[in-house]
């Protein structure tokens, strides 16, 4: 068996063609007492917008919403109007890999928790989470670059990218990388203190937290699974503070070490302060 045939065989072995999918134009929904997805989805809207994007999944999982069951239905075609990874748009059992199916399951799980949980809301690109202990978290959902960022920042960044792309020699005018990526806003504000209920660190103050957001890099896994984990951390409203307080302690230790070892500035980096 040559390499190409072997790869094709492996892909077919890992495919999952039994996953439920509505074929054709979605008349199945009408026949079973639901709305046609075309009547729910605004195909002329910005489907990268969080509410519109996850609304696509909701439109194709009306039966699961009604029955309170796990979302298992992949949209028929509308994802090709979004910035999602092109390899996931359409179900192709003969060539889809196991990883393709795993990523689709991550997207379905993320869409379901966003739709079902009363403490999760959306406005434009921004997703807001009310934690179980009363704190509020928010971030922009940036499907195009598969990142999250400080709320209210991605729309401006995307507008700059689009404006630059229309100029002659657009590569010369491209805006810098998304400066607010991986940032998650929280309701404690600047120079926050760890909530009292947090074990070990409750009531402890931070020193170098001069923004009302903190940095949480992508967690292990796909973008969808990372976003799902982030939302669960915000809802749980406890371990996220332990993570971020320990980050703040590390920053404090670093700054103190630099000031102690190089009070006049680091000779290899801060020569202007010598």
Q: List own/partner pairs for 82-91 with CB under 8 A and 24 or more apart.
A: 82/47, 82/48, 82/53, 82/56, 82/143, 83/48, 83/143, 83/144, 84/143, 91/19, 91/21
**Sequence-ordered list of residues with C-beta below 8 angstroms from that of 186, at least 6 positions apart, any chain:** 135, 136, 137, 192, 212, 213, 214
pLDDT at position 15, please? 40
pLDDT, tens digit, for every residue of 97-124?
999 999 999 999 999 999 999 999 999 9
**59 phi and psi angles, rounded to 5 deg:** -65, -35
Q: Which letter does DSSP use for residue 220 in this model? A: S
> What residue spans define the domains of the chain?
1-116, 119-265
What 256-264 contacts at long range (C-beta under 8 Å, 24+ apart), as own/partner pairs, is: none
Per-residue pLDDT tens over the stretch 233-242: 999 999 999 9
pLDDT at 239: 96
Calpha distance 146→233 (Å, rounded): 19
* Residue 22, pLDDT score: 53
Q: Which pLDDT belongs to residue 14?
A: 40
pTM: 0.85
Stretches where the chain sits below pLDDT 70 are: 1-25, 170-176, 265-274
């Amino acid at each position: 068996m040559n390499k190409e045939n072997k790869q094709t065989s492996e892909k077919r072995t890992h495919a999952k063609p039994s996953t439920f999918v509505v074929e054709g134009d979605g008349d199945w929904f009408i026949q079973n007492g639901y709305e046609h997805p075309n009547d729910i989805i605004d195909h002329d809207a910005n489907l990268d917008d969080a509410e519109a994007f996850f609304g696509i999944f909701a439109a194709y999982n009306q039966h699961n919403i009604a029955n309170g069951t796990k979302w298992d239905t992949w949209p028929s075609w509308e994802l090709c109007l979004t910035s999602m990874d092109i390899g996931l748009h359409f179900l192709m059992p003969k060539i889809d890999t196991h990883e393709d199916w795993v990523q689709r399951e991550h997207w379905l799980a993320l869409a379901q928790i966003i739709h079902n949980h009363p403490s999760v809301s959306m406005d434009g690109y921004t997703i807001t989470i009310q934690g179980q202990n009363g704190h509020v978290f928010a971030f922009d959902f940036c499907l195009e670059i598969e990142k999250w960022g400080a709320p209210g920042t991605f729309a401006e960044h995307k507008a700059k990218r689009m404006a630059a792309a229309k100029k002659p020699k657009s590569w010369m005018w491209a805006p810098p990388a998304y400066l607010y990526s991986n940032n998650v806003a929280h309701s404690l504000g600047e120079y926050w203190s760890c909530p009292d209920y947090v074990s070990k660190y409750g009531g402890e103050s931070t020193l170098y937290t001069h923004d009302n957001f903190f940095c949480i890099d992508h967690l292990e896994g796909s973008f969808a699974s990372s976003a799902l984990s982030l939302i669960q951390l915000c809802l749980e409203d406890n371990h996220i503070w332990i993570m971020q307080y320990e980050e703040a302690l590390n920053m404090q230790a670093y700054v103190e070490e630099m000031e102690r070892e190089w009070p006049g500035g680091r000779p290899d980096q801060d020569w202007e302060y010598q």
